[in-house]
């Protein structure tokens, strides 16, 4: 066991070291300023999405399922013939239909979707008009392709850094500093939204036929890069 005097000395040194470390930590945060800069750009949608569906009712659920499957398979085969258009199965569900008293099942109703996607708006519009002879329109929307979004985000990244540096310089001058050090910086993308339903396009698509298709206005979405960081202003 340490003598009382040596123990007191050790405690005093530990306390002094702790206070010194605390003081250094507080000094490190001195004159620090948190800043944000944001740059953005409107990007034209370059992907078109169409949802078509088949819906029917029958007292025999097996016959109903076979009917829906036959219609969907024909639609898939038709879509695969069009270059540049991808097709995938969407949701499919069935539910019972009850009598007026809600006690006895009188029939079954089933709905199944096909989802089409393409960067060729003209080709997909024409195909949609043809497929509406056997299927119904569920919806139409537009989005930015992943590669397109990445290309624009990479271009905006340099602009975001430049905007942050300009703001950091303004903050430094406002505080009367002689310069600044960059403590931290994070870059994050934002502004990109999932495909948004465009009711105008949907109404137009509902009137499509094989001989005449309406002009498509895909619209835009905003892509942005946020630069969040902390600087330490150096005072003269």
Given this model, what pLDDT does residue 89 score?
A: 94
Overall pTM > 0.75: no
Of 211, 224, 88, 93, nearest to 153 (Cα)?
224
Contact 124/45 with Cβ under 8 angstroms? no
Class of residue 101 by CB neighbours under 10 A (exposed 0-12, middle 13-18, buried 19+): exposed
Domain 28-44+145-194+220-236 has CATH 3.30.110: yes
Which are the contacts of 21, defined by CB distance < 8 A and separation ≥ 6? none
DSSP 134: T
Domains 28-44+145-194+220-236 and 47-143 share a fold: no
Given this model, what pLDDT does residue 197 score?
A: 47
How far apart CA 79 and CA 75 sit, in angstroms, is: 6
Q: Where are the domains of the chain?
A: 28-44+145-194+220-236, 47-143
Domain boundaries 47-143, corresponding CATH code: 3.30.70.2970
How far apart CA 95 and CA 55 sit, in angstroms, is: 11
Given this model, what pLDDT does residue 180 score?
A: 95
The pLDDT profile of the chain, 236 residues, written as one tens digit per residue, is 545 455 444 444 454 555 454 555 555 567 899 999 999 999 999 999 999 999 999 999 999 999 999 999 999 999 999 999 999 999 999 999 998 888 899 999 999 999 999 999 999 999 999 999 999 999 999 999 999 999 999 999 999 999 999 999 999 999 999 999 999 999 998 765 544 444 444 444 444 544 455 567 788 888 999 999 999 999 98
Given this model, what pLDDT does residue 37 score?
A: 95
Instruction: Look at phi and psi of residue 114 and say left if phi exceeds 0, alpha if psi is from -120 to 50, else beta.
Output: beta
How far apart CA 185 and CA 164 sit, in angstroms, is: 9
């Amino acid at each position: 066991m340490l003598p009382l005097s040596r123990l007191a000395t050790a405690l005093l040194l530990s306390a002094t070291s702790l206070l010194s470390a605390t003081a250094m930590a507080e000094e490190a945060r001195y004159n620090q300023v948190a800043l944000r800069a944001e740059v953005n750009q409107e990007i034209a949608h370059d992907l078109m999405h169409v949802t078509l569906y088949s819906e029917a009712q029958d007292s025999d659920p097996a016959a109903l399922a076979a009917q829906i499957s036959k219609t969907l398979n024909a639609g898939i085969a038709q879509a695969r013939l069009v270059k540049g258009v991808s097709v995938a199965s969407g949701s499919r569900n069935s539910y019972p239909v009850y009598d007026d008293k809600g006690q006895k099942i009188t029939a079954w109703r089933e709905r199944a979707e096909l989802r089409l996607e393409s960067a060729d708006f003209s080709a997909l519009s024409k195909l949609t008009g043809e497929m509406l002879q056997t299927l119904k329109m569920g919806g139409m929307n537009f989005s930015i392709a992943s590669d397109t979004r990445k290309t624009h985000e990479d271009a905006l990244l340099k602009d975001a850094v430049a905007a942050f540096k300009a703001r950091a310089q303004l903050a430094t001058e406002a505080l009367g500093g002689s310069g600044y050090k960059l403590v931290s910086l994070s870059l994050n993308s934002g502004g990109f939204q999932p495909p948004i339903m465009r009711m105008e396009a949907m109404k137009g698509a509902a009137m499509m036929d094989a001989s005449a298709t309406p002009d498509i206005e895909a619209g835009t979405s905003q892509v942005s890069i946020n630069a969040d960081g902390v600087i330490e202003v150096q005072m003269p």
